[in-house]
Chains A and B, each alone.
Chain A
C-alpha cells in the first residue's frame, strides 16, 4: 500500500469518525497542538484519556454496585469523565455522560446503570476507533509519509 493511499484512507477514516459523531472539533484542536516539540501529543493525551477513563469506569462500577449508592460520588466521577472526554473530543462519550449526570441528579439507580453501560459501550467504541486511527498513523509514519492535516468539516 503506498503512502498516498494510506493517507487517503486515514483521511476517510477520520472523516467518518467526525461524521458519525465519535469525535468533534476538540480533536482537531488536539491535532493542531501536535508539532515537532510534541510529536506524540495526540497519542499521549488519548492514552491518558484511556487510562483515566478506565479508572473512572471501574470506580463507577464499584460505586453503583454498592447498596446505598453515593450519587454525589458517582456524579463527580461522571463529571470528570465528561471533562476528559470533551477535552479529547470524544463527543459521544461526552453526550452519554451528560445523560448520565441527569439521571444522577434524579438519583435513579437503574437509569444510572443503564447509562453506565452506554458510556462503557461508547468508550469501547471510541477506543477501538482511535486505536485503529493511531495504527493507521503509525503505518503512514512507518511508510515514511506524514500525517495529512485535517482540513475537513464534519
Chain B
C-alpha cells in the first residue's frame, strides 16, 4: 500500500516537473494562449497540492513507524529491567536458600560424625582404663571380671546414645563384645563370642612376649577370627536396663554385624567407613579406634562404633518437605549415603546388601541429577568443586542443581540439592510471561491508538490541504467571476454610450419634428407619444447605467455644497403635480434642526428621494406621502440630545423606535465629522409584504410582479436607491408601520457645511400675535404644519372643509365684535369644547393678526358656488389676511377672480415650512409697516399690495401679474424678481381702491420686461428648447428658423460667451478647428495650441510664435474678433482652458498638473475643461483628480460645451 502511495507521490512530482517544463517551453506573450497558461497554472497548483498531500502521507507513515519503534523499545526495556533485577535477586536468594538447605544435613552429618567419634573416643578411653585396671589378666576370673566390667562400661555408653547402632569391642585375643540395636525391630542385642575358646593368658603372654610377633600373630588371629567363622552368640537385652531377657543364641555368620577389627586401624589411628548391614536400610557410619595398652605399645582391643545415617535422611526429608525438591549425599565415589526420599539406598539384589551408586537411584530426579552432574563434571569431583546450575532440564521440569563438597578427612562427601525451578521462580516465570504478554498487548494497543490518532490528525491536515486546494480553486473561480462581472459592467458602460447617443438623437429629432407646425393633430399626438416613450427609454437606460456604475464602483459622488431643504422642496413640488391626479397629498416634514447646507452630490440625493417618492406615488391611490427628515447631531451633549429627542417625540411618536439605530449610527459616525440625516418616506399605499422587505432592494425585484402591468417599472429604482444610499454611507430599509402603506427609513451621512445646525430662526413670526387658520384639505399636511407652527409660538386653528371654516370664522369675528350675537347659529353648529377654549385663548391675545390659509379645494369648484363662497370670505378681508393655496391645475378664471378681488398672496400646493415662513414673514413685515404708517401719517391710509411671497427658486407662488403660464419657470422667476423690484418702487403710488388700474400697469411692465433684450437673451441662452416649444416661440419661429436643430444662437444681443478668452489645447487639427469655430460662434475668442506644453507656456505668458501665427490666422478670418486679438496679445490671461487629454509632448493630465502647480500661491484658479474621447467615468475621475473642473466628451456637443463653459466662467466671475 505504501509503495503505491509513493508511486502516486512520484507520479505527482513527475507530472509537476513535466508541467513546469511545458510551462517554460510555452512561448509567452501570446494572448490567445493565456487561457491555457491559466489552466496550467491551475494544474500546477493542484499538482502542488497533490504532492503536498502525498508528502503528508509519507510524513504520517514515518510518524507512525517512529511511534511503533519507540513504544516497542519502551516495552522491551521495561520488561527487561523488571525481569533482570527480579531474577537476579531471586537467584541470589535461591542460592542462599539452597546453600542453607544443604548446609543443614551436612551439619547433621557432621554432628553424627562428631558424636560417633566422641563415643568412640570415650569407649576407647574407658576401655583403656578398664584394661589397665585389670592389668594382670592372669586368671580366668580376672579376665571374666574385666570383660564383665568392659561389658558394663560399654553398655553404659551404648545406652546413653540412642542413635548408636552398635558398639563393638574386639580384643586382641579375638574375644568380641558388642551391643547392637536392631532399628527395624527395635531390639537390642548383646553379641559376644564364645569365651571358652580363648585363653587370655596365652594370648596375653604371647602378646607380651613378642609384641611384634604377637601383634602380627594377633593380627593374624584376628584375621583368623574374622575369616573363620567364630561362634558368636546373641542375647537380646532390655533396651532400657540392659538386663538379659532372652537366651543367648548362636548366630549365623550372615546375621552378624560388622565388627571393627584390627584391620581397620592399621596405623593405629581412627578410621571411618561407611558400611551396610542387613538390619538397617540405611548405610551406617562406622568409626574404629584402637585401644592401646598401658605402655602404649600394643593394641589390646579395637573399639568400633557404628551410627545410622538414617537421621540425616530424615532431616533431609523434613527439609525437602518444607521446600520441595530433592537432596542427597554421596560419597566421593558416588555412593548414596542419604537421600531425601524413601527409596532404598541399598541394593536388595545382592547379599550382603551393598550401597547404591547415586546414578542407580530409583528416584528419577536424583538419578537424572546425578547423571547430569556426572556428565558435567566427569566421574571425579575435584576437591572443593562445587556446582551451581540454575536451569537444568530433568525430565519435564527445570531444576536448580547445587553440589557442595564436604571434605572429611577419611570420608569426603558430596551433597547435592535439586530444587525445582518452579518452586523458586515458578511464579516469577509465570508472571514474567504474563507481564510480557500484558506489556506487549498494552504497547500494541498504544501503537494502534497512536496510529489512529496520527491518522486522524494527519487526516485533519490533509483535509485542510484539500480545503485549501478547494479554496484556491474557488478563489480562482471568484476571480473569473469578478472578471466576467467586470466585463459585464464595462460592457454596459460602453454600451450605454452607444445607446444613449442614438436615443439623444431620436429625442432631439422628435423635438424638431414636434416644433414643425405642418403636422396634423394626429401626427402630433403620435410624435408626442413617441417622445414620451423615448424619454422613458432613456430614463431606463440611465437607470441601468447608474446601477452598473454603482456596482462597478465607478460612480464618483460629487462633493459640492447644496441646500438640502431647497432640493427636497423642489422635489416635493414636482411630485405634488403628479399627485394631483391621484388625490394624494404630498407632505414635506423636515425638522427645524436640519442643516441648511450640506456637502454631497445633490443630484444623487435628489435621485434617491425621487425614486422613493415615485415609487410611493405609483402604489398610493389615495392618502398621503410624507417625506420626513431629521438631523442627528453626531456629537451631541446629553441635554441637547434629550431635547432633540423630546422634540422628535412630539413630532412623531414612532421615531423613538429608531433610537437604537441612531445610537448605532452615532457610534459609527463619531469619528468623521459627518452629520447623519434621517429620512422617512411614508405612504398609505398598498404596502409591501414583510417577507419582501429585504428583497425589494434587489435588482429587477418587485414586491408584487403583477403590478408591473398596472404601474410598469423594472424594479431597478429601489436597487439604485440602496446603492446610492450605501455609497453615501447610509442604510435604507423598510420599517414596520401602523396602518396601511410602506415606511422606508434611511439615513445618509453627509458633510454639513459650516454651521451645522443653523436654526431657521422664527423669532419674527413668533410672538407677533399671529393666529393662523389653516383651512386645508389634506389632513396630514395640515396637522403637521399646525403642530410645527404651534411649536414655534404661532397660534393655529384647523378646518378641513368649508363648513368648518365658516364656523370658525363666525366664531372668531362675530364673538369678538359682538359677543353672544350668534346664539341661534350656535344651535345649528354646536362648537366643540376644544374650539371654544381656543377661541377663548385667542381672545386673550393682544392685537392679533389673523392669517387664513384657504385651500382652493375647499371651495365648490364644480359649480358656480365658489364665487359666492369667495364673496363670503371677502367680507373678512379687512380683518384677516387671506392666503390662497392653489393647485397646479387651478383654472385661470379662479386666479383671475382672486386677483380681481385683490388677494395677492397665493401659494401653490404643497405648503411646506419655507413657504409658510416666507408668507408669515411677509405678513408680519406688512403689519409692521402698516403700524408705522399709521403712526406716521394717519391721513394716508394707504394699503399696498405685495405681490411676492416667493420662497424657493422654483415658482410655486404665482404672482398677480398677467404672466404667461406656459413659460419656463426660470423666466418666471426672472420676471418675478424684476416685478418685485418694480413693485417695491411702486409702493405708495398704488391706491387701495385702484386695483383695476393697477393690473394693466403691471401688465405693461411685464410686457416691457418681456421685450427687453436682456431678458430675452437670458431666456434663450438657458432654455432654447423650451422656448421653441412654448407658444410664444411661434411668433418668433419664422425669423429664427436657423435656430431649429438645437443650436442656441443669439439673434440679437450678446452672444453667450462674449468676451471670454479661451485657450484650446488640442492636437488633432480637425477637432481643433471644429472647437475653435464652435467657440467663436458663441462669441469667445480662442487661442489654439497643439500640445500640453504649449498650453502651459501660453498660460505662463510664453506663448509660442507658431501658435500666435495660427491664432492670428484664425482671427484674420474672423473679422469680428480682430479687435480681441490685440487684447489677447496684451493680456495673455484666459478665462478658461479646454484641454485634450491625449496629446503629444505633454498630455492633458500632465499639463493640468503643471498649471495647477504654477497656480499654487497665486490664488488664481483657471477653469480647465477636459476634452476626451473616453466616455467612462473613471476617466472623469482621473480628470477631476488632476485638477480639472469639468469634463466634455468627444465629439463635442455644442450645447453641453456651452453650458459647461458658462457654469465655470460664471462661477469664477461671481
Which residues of A are interface residues toward B (Cβ below 8 A)? Answer: 25-26, 28-30, 32-33, 35, 37-38, 41, 44-45, 48-49, 51-52, 76, 79-80, 82-84, 86-89, 106-108, 149-151, 153-154
Pick from B1070, B1078, B1120, B1198: contact of A37, CB under 8 Å? B1120
Q: How many Å from the CB of A90 to the closest CB on chain B?
A: 10
Using CB atoms, name the residue of chain B closest to A40: B1117
A84, B1045: Cα distance in complex, Å: 23
In contact, A52 and B1069 (Cβ under 8 angstroms): yes
A28, B1196: Cα distance in complex, Å: 12
Q: Which residues of B, 1187-1210, contact A by the 8 Å Cβ criterion?
A: 1194-1198
A76, B1144: Cα distance in complex, Å: 9
A68, B88: Cα distance in complex, Å: 93
A89, B962: Cα distance in complex, Å: 46
Contact flags (1/0) for B1105-1120 with A, using CB distance below 8 Å? Answer: 0000000000001111
In contact, A26 and B1067 (Cβ under 8 angstroms): no
**Residues of B in contact, count (CB < 8 Å):** 34
In contact, B1074 and A108 (Cβ under 8 angstroms): no
Q: Does B1068 contact A (CB under 8 A)?
A: yes
A44, B1070: Cα distance in complex, Å: 9
Using CB atoms, name the residue of chain A closest to B1193: A86
A74, B737: Cα distance in complex, Å: 63
Q: Does B1142 contact A (CB under 8 A)?
A: yes
Q: Does B1042 contact A (CB under 8 A)?
A: yes
Q: Does B821 contact A (CB under 8 A)?
A: no
A33, B1194: Cα distance in complex, Å: 16
Pick from B31, B1068, B1081, B1117: contact of A106, CB under 8 Å? B31
In contact, A151 and B1045 (Cβ under 8 angstroms): yes
Pick from B509, B1069, B1080, B1195: contact of A26, CB under 8 Å? B1195
In contact, A83 and B1173 (Cβ under 8 angstroms): yes
A-B pairs with beta carbons under 8 Å apart, 7 shown:
A25-B505, A29-B1195, A45-B1074, A84-B1069, A87-B1196, A151-B512, A151-B1045
Contact flags (1/0) for B1065-1094 with A, using CB distance below 8 Å? Answer: 001111101100110110000000000000
Using CB atoms, name the residue of chain B closest to A108: B31
A30, B1194: Cα distance in complex, Å: 14
Pick from A38, A51, A82, A84: contact of B1077, CB under 8 Å? A38
A149, B1042: Cα distance in complex, Å: 8
Interface centre among A35, A76, A83, by most chain B C-beta atoms within 10 angstroms, is A83
A33, B771: Cα distance in complex, Å: 61
Cβ–Cβ < 8 Å partners of B1071 in chain A: 83-84, 87
In contact, A32 and B1045 (Cβ under 8 angstroms): yes
Cβ–Cβ < 8 Å partners of A33 in chain B: 1074, 1077-1078, 1081, 1198
In contact, B1195 and A87 (Cβ under 8 angstroms): yes
Cβ–Cβ < 8 Å partners of A49 in chain B: 1070
Q: Which residues of B, 1034-1069, contact A by the 8 Å Cβ criterion?
A: 1042, 1044-1045, 1047, 1067-1069
Pick from B1042, B1117, B1119, B1198: contact of A29, CB under 8 Å? B1198
Cβ–Cβ < 8 Å partners of B1119 in chain A: 37
Using CB atoms, name the residue of chain B closest to A82: B1173
In contact, A107 and B31 (Cβ under 8 angstroms): yes
Cβ–Cβ < 8 Å partners of A83 in chain B: 1068, 1070-1071, 1140, 1142, 1173, 1194
Pick from B1068, B1074, B1081: contact of A80, CB under 8 Å? B1068
Cβ–Cβ < 8 Å partners of A29 in chain B: 1047, 1078, 1195, 1197-1198
In contact, B1073 and A45 (Cβ under 8 angstroms): yes
Q: How many Å from the CB of B512 to the closest CB on chain A?
A: 7
Q: How many Å from the CB of A49 to the closest CB on chain B?
A: 4
Q: How many Å from the CB of A36 to the closest CB on chain B?
A: 11
In contact, A84 and B1068 (Cβ under 8 angstroms): yes
Q: How many Å from the CB of B1144 to the closest CB on chain A?
A: 8
Cβ–Cβ < 8 Å partners of B1068 in chain A: 52, 80, 83-84, 87
In contact, A88 and B1070 (Cβ under 8 angstroms): yes
A134, B1117: Cα distance in complex, Å: 21
In contact, B1045 and A30 (Cβ under 8 angstroms): no
Cβ–Cβ < 8 Å partners of B1077 in chain A: 33, 38, 41, 45
Interface centre among A29, A41, A44, A82, by most chain B C-beta atoms within 10 angstroms, is A29
Q: How many Å from the CB of B716 to the closest CB on chain A?
A: 28
Q: How many Å from the CB of A60 to the closest CB on chain B?
A: 15
Q: A29-B1197, A80-B1067, A151-B1045 are in contact. List 6 more A-B contacts (CB 8 A).
A: A45-B1073, A76-B1142, A83-B1173, A84-B1071, A89-B1195, A153-B505
